[in-house]
């Protein structure tokens, strides 16, 4: 597979603090990739570097071979990079449809476009179609605050999806969900991946990581310590040490993340 996204020798410092150190990895087109690691390992910082919230202190970030480090965050959405956040940032008092349409407005980023009735009716139709396609067609008019948490998490994903991304980055999509909701979310994300969208997922729920993702990159203290199949990650001595603090090679069932 060719790399959709690649990070090459990326570092990020905040003042004198090195948060990401010389990290390189590829996200192949069509992959379902997990980015995991203990708390504070630098996962969200990597997301912020890819989405353009931060500039790298060193190294290159490429999308389909194009260096994007200098491209502003808003323009990266247009290039095909979208993300949903760890904490739901839906507008609770608005309807499902209105929330999804806010995603379209954010993407357009131009007041003239937002106010055009023709544009709004096209957005409305596209948002309705997407909600229907993703199995959320029973909810478009409902106010988000009244919906179950599992549904709200899906709406957050759909709102990112409306930008028609090539790469969809999800930050802890299963946080706060019970087992049934998590299994449901996994099917939902598999459905999205089946349409050709590449997934990069930060997630602490290892059963979701194992069932959803084919590949994992593991960070520890801002450095990459594993880059390989998800099926092997929990057997890796460096990964076990990062999570448990001591060498645990051989204890293959230990849960990480």
Q: Which residues bind ligand ATP (CB under 6 A)?
A: 14, 17, 19, 37, 39-45
Of 39 and 66, CB closest to ligand ATP = 39
45 or 99: whose CB is closer to ligand ATP? 45
* Helix axes 179-194 and 149-161, enclosed angle (nearest 10): 20
Which among 35, 17, 10, 85 is positioned nearest to 257, based on CA atoms? Answer: 35
Nearest residue (CB) to ligand ATP, 14 versus 149: 14
Q: Closer to ligand ATP at the Cβ: 94 or 225?
A: 225
Query: What is the C-alpha radius of gyration for the chain, rounded to an integer number of angstroms?
Result: 19
- Closest distance of CB 42 from ligand ATP, Å: 4
Nearer to ligand ATP, 19 or 242 (CB): 19
Taking the C-alpha atoms of residue 98 and residue 103, their distance in angstroms, rounded to an integer, is 9
DSSP 143: B
Q: Are 189 and 28 in contact (CB under 8 A)?
A: no
Question: Residue 43 Cβ, how far from ligand ATP at the closest point, in Å?
Answer: 4
Surface-to-core class of residue 146, CB atoms within 10 Å of its CB (0-12 exposed, 13-18 middle, 19+ buried): exposed
Nearest approach, Cβ of residue 171 and ligand ATP (Å):
8
Query: What does the block give as tokens for 189?
Result: 């994300």
Minimum Å gap between C-beta 172 and ligand ATP is 8
Three-class SS string for 80-122? CEEEECCCCCCCCCCEHHHHHHHHHHHHHCCHHHHHCHHHHHH
Minimum Å gap between C-beta 4 and ligand ATP is 22
């Amino acid at each position: 597979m060719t790399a959709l996204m690649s990070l090459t020798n990326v570092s990020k410092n905040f003042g004198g603090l090195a948060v990401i150190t010389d990290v390189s990895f590829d996200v192949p087109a069509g992959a379902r990739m997990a980015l995991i690691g203990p708390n504070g390992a630098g996962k969200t910082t990597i997301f912020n570097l890819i989405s353009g919230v931060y500039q790298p202190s060193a190294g290159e970030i490429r999308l389909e071979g194009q260096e994007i480090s200098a491209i502003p965050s808003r323009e990266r959405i247009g290039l095909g990079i979208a993300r949903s956040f760890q904490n739901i940032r839906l507008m609770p008092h608005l309807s499902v449809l209105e929330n999804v349409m806010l995603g379209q407005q954010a993407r357009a980023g131009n007041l003239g476009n937002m106010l055009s009735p023709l544009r709004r009716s096209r957005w409305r139709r596209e948002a309705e179609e997407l909600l229907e396609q993703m199995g959320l067609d029973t909810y478009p008019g409902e106010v988000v605050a009244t919906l179950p948490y599992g549904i709200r998490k899906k709406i957050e994903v759909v709102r990112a999806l409306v930008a028609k991304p090539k790469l969809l980055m999800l930050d802890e999509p299963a946080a706060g969900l019970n087992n049934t909701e998590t299994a449901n979310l996994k099917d939902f994300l598999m459905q999205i991946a089946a349409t050709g969208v590449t997934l990069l997922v930060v997630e602490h729920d290892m059963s979701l990581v194992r069932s959803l993702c084919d590949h994992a990159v593991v960070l520890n203290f801002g450095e990459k310590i594993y880059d390989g199949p998800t099926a092997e990650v929990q057997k890796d001595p460096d990964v076990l040490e990062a999570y448990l603090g001591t060498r645990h090679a051989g204890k293959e069932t230990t849960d990480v993340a």
